[in-house]
Chain A
């Protein structure tokens, strides 16, 4: 036996107690100090990330909020630091921006619902039906589009949706026609682009449901659809909401897809983009961008209780 726990108790062993053959750990006063003082340890671990968080996120958001309260000198085009609520009031009250806000909300909701409907059966198949080998391949297949550039995917859809494009070619014999460059095109394209963000959390959710729960449900007399409704879905709700947080907030802030396949469709993101660029009105762009931030915060606040935030 190499590991003699009680040296000397066995006759015939030469090693006297105390002369350990295995080297002891060297004393480290700093580690010992940290071990004795958990608060010190916590402070050491948190300072850097917390500092980064304050600097990058909180400070940037605060700057945005402050900028929204400034205004642009129409003559010089420079931001003047005089305080006014005019931008915010205009964004909230002007019917043009109200309509754009509602349209953006509608697009984000439609994308979220479409992705949810597509992702549920796909995730179920990957997690519970496919063999282990296929599981790995399918997860990679789901992830693969994320490795391609966003722009490439959006332009690919521009081609698909174009006059005489793939969709028209496939649809014409069936009596369908391409939606062209429109709101519908934006919804389709965004649904495609954000789909992996919905599949991954739902897939992880399905993986966490033990097979024995499904077996128990069937064993007690439930048909597969009942098992899905009464056992699977309630357990999956947090995972589904985790997925919707991604698809919803990503769609809410999008402007590239709207520009590439949206035709004349205006979303909040395109308004921000136009005001930062062409109109050179940073304060107004900031005011507009506060809307999706507010909506996402409200959404997070509502879903917080479901435990979805632990599933991100």
Chain B
């Protein structure tokens, strides 16, 4: 069975997904990993800022805002 992954910034508000692949490199990758965004971590899209970007996500018990640039480098599987 083939599963489709989408970038995190495509996750609709209120929906959850599981982190599958990080395409970011270097320091951004380290930052994202430090936030706990390792494989299979559950992420929920919570709230858009007034201009639509950044978006706040629920990640491992914390609320973290990410710009679309970063979120687009986190590929998830919607659940």
A and B part of one assembly: no
CB within 8 Å of A: which residues of B? none
